[in-house]
């Protein structure tokens, strides 16, 4: 698979996540962010386990739990909480901080050298989404902003650890996604029961919304996303995440009737330029060997 195809397939994930905010505000019952995260993750995870037919072994039980909590268990409820307290474009636009978080964590954890062009792209992307956030009628709820920042920080660390630990030999991307979706869902299950409970009634729109989030936004998106993280340079997925605020803002303006200004349009343009420029800058240098971060495989081979 060439790099462009891999980038396009990986981009399916943040594009689908950009629909989360519209689905949450228009279809899902209010006040149930934990339930939304649970129904998005656990059924999809169990289905993926049934398809992949592979369970973790050894230390991978703990690693799958950690990754599941970071990428799913913590991220989902914070994401839905942000979507309930902020306009769609504002909530998703906070994801613009993720490339900066990934760059910083990549340097600390992976000892990955920061390329100036990548840093410029990350800063430009953050500036672009800031222009989207600061629209003329943006409602900057404090708790909503904190929830959104917490969510992107959690998944940013998840990206780095996914890159650091790789994927065990013989485990396919569907099974690997199933481990994390199931772990995240099981983490959310007792929290949902004890802290939030279940709505007394779910209408057809809510059922449709949960199905969309669990299939396209859950199983399909995370299978493609985790495979992309492992095969692309570390900054590439973080920059692709900028597609989420673009999609959410466009959907918010065209479907939900949210305001959309010229400054926000310029911000989206900056985000797209940063995304494309950052992907070009992140290309492996000619003659370099792409690194697959399957460190666990290397250790087991030596044994």
Q: Which residues contact 173 (CB under 8 A, 6 or more apart)?
A: 167, 223, 224, 226, 227
Q: What is the pLDDT of residue 139?
A: 65
Residue 34 burial class via C-beta count within 10 angstroms: exposed 0-12, middle 13-18, buried 19 and up: buried
Question: Residue 285 — pLDDT band, cuts 50, 70, 90?
Answer: low
Instruction: Provide the mean pLDDT of the chain.
Output: 83
Please state the φ and ψ torsions of residue 106, each to the nearest 5 degrees. -60, -35
Q: Calculate mean pLDDT across residues 167-182.
A: 94
Q: What is the pLDDT of residue 9?
A: 94
pLDDT tens by residue, 64-114: 999 999 999 998 788 777 767 776 556 656 767 778 888 888 888 877 777
| Residue 295 reports pLDDT greater than 60 | no
Q: Which residues contact 102 (CB under 8 A, 6 or more apart)?
A: 122, 156, 159, 160, 234, 235, 237, 238
pLDDT greater at residue 7 or residue 283: 7
Q: Calculate mean pLDDT across residues 34-49.
A: 92
Q: What is the pLDDT of residue 289?
A: 38
Token pair listed for 78: 């914070």
pLDDT tens by residue, 125-140: 878 877 776 555 556 6
Q: What is the pLDDT of residue 82?
A: 77
How far is the CA of 114 from the CAs of 106, 124, 167, 260, 278, in angstroms? 8, 15, 24, 34, 12
Q: What is the pLDDT of residue 116?
A: 81
d(Cα 89, Cα 175) in Å, to the nearest integer?
32
pLDDT tens by residue, 218-270: 999 999 999 999 888 888 888 888 888 788 878 888 887 877 778 778 888 88
């Amino acid at each position: 698979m060439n790099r462009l195809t891999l980038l396009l397939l990986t981009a399916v994930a943040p594009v689908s996540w950009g629909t989360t905010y519209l689905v949450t505000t228009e279809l899902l019952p209010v006040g149930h962010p934990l339930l939304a995260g649970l129904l998005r993750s656990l059924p999809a995870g169990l289905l993926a386990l049934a398809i992949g037919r592979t369970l973790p072994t050894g230390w991978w039980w703990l690693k799958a739990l950690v990754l599941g909590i970071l990428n799913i268990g913590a991220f989902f409820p914070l994401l839905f909480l942000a979507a309930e307290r902020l306009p769609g474009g504002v909530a998703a636009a906070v994801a613009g901080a993720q490339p900066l978080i990934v760059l910083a964590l990549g340097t600390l954890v992976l000892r990955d050298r920061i390329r100036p062009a990548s840093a410029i792209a990350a800063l430009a992307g953050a500036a672009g989404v800031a222009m989207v956030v600061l629209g003329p009628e943006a409602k900057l709820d404090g708790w909503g902003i904190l929830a959104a920042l917490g969510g992107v920080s959690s998944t940013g660390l998840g990206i780095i650890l996914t890159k650091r630990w790789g994927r065990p030999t013989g485990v396919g991307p569907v099974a690997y996604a199933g481990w994390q979706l199931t772990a995240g869902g099981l983490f959310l299950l007792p929290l949902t029961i004890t802290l939030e409970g279940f709505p007394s009634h779910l209408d057809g729109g809510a059922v449709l919304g949960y199905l969309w989030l669990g299939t396209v936004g859950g199983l399909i998106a995370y299978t493609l996303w985790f495979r992309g993280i492992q095969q692309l340079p570390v900054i590439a997925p973080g920059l692709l995440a900028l597609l989420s605020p673009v999609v959410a803002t466009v959907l918010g303006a065209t479907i939900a009737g949210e305001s959309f200004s010229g400054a926000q349009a310029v911000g989206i343009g900056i985000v797209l330029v940063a995304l494309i420029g950052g992907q070009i800058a992140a290309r492996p240098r000619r003659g370099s060997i792409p690194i697959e971060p399957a460190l666990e495989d290397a250790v087991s081979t030596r044994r």
